[in-house]
Amino acid sequence: MNELKLQKRYAQSLFDLAKQMDCLEKVHDDVLLITDACLENRQLQVILKNPTIKPLLKRQIIVALFGECCQELSVKFLSLIITKRREIHLLSICDCFLEIYRKEHNIKTVELVLAQSIDEEFNQQIKKHLQTVLQSDIYLVTKINPKILGGFCLTIEGKQYDASFLKKLSILKKEFLVNLNNQ
């Protein structure tokens, strides 16, 4: 089965079940917690992706980590994923779940790439302005890329606005070369 299709099916199933059981917000919080734990803990990623570790041991680890702080539905879902030997796709399933959740709640994902980090107050001002302009709640992902030199790149639902110095320098370079060749 196509991996993306598989991930979306699991994510949609969890979403539908959480909605049906009226615990969608809590499961959403659990998915955020699980995602953060997997991204921040390299050992957890290694354990989940290691095919030589038996599913029973993986389930015990997951229950020990998330059993107390997550909804029963979330823990059972994690156990099911491990039983079905799909734990290698856990992060992707979580990403698909969050995408479905954001779409359902009209939350637009916006990626902001900057040359250097900004303080939280300025980050909130940007988010508030984007909410006003887009007339939607915003999930703002800020990334740092010193290669853009300055300015910013903004990606909203696959559409990119590049106002970086690197882009402007590239445009100037092309214009300069065109003018140089025309002489």
- The residue ranges of every structural domain in the chain are 3-103, 107-182
The pTM score is: 0.76
pLDDT score, position 44: 87
Mean local confidence (pLDDT), 5-11: 90
Q: For 62-100, what is each residue's pLDDT tens digit? A: 888 888 888 899 999 999 999 899 888 889 999 999 999
Q: Do domains 3-103 and 107-182 have the same CATH topology?
A: no
CATH of domain 107-182: 3.40.30
Residue 55 CA to residue 32 CA, distance in Å, equals 23
Q: Which CATH number fits domain 3-103: 1.10.520.20, 1.10.375.10, 3.30.70.380, 3.20.20.140?
A: 1.10.520.20
Please say whether the beta carbons of 137 and 103 come within 8 A: no
Residue 153 has, within 13 A of its CA and on its CB side, a CA count of 19
User: What's the pLDDT band for 109 if we cut at 50, 70, 90?
Assistant: confident
Residue identified by tokens 């089965």 is: 1
pLDDT score, position 97: 93
Give the gyration radius of the chain's Cα atoms.
Answer: 21
Q: For 24-61, what is each residue's pLDDT tens digit? A: 999 999 999 999 998 898 888 888 888 888 989 998 98
Whether the pLDDT of residue 1 is over 60: the answer is no
Q: For 117-165, what is each residue's pLDDT tens digit? A: 888 898 889 889 988 888 888 888 888 988 888 888 889 888 888 888 8
Helix 24-40 vs helix 55-66: angle between axes, to the nearest 10 degrees? Answer: 110
Please give the angle made by the CA atoms of 141, 152 and 102, to the nearest 5 degrees: 25
Q: Tell me the three state secondary structure of residue 44.
A: helix
Residue 137 has, within 13 A of its CA and on its CB side, a CA count of 8
pLDDT score, position 168: 87
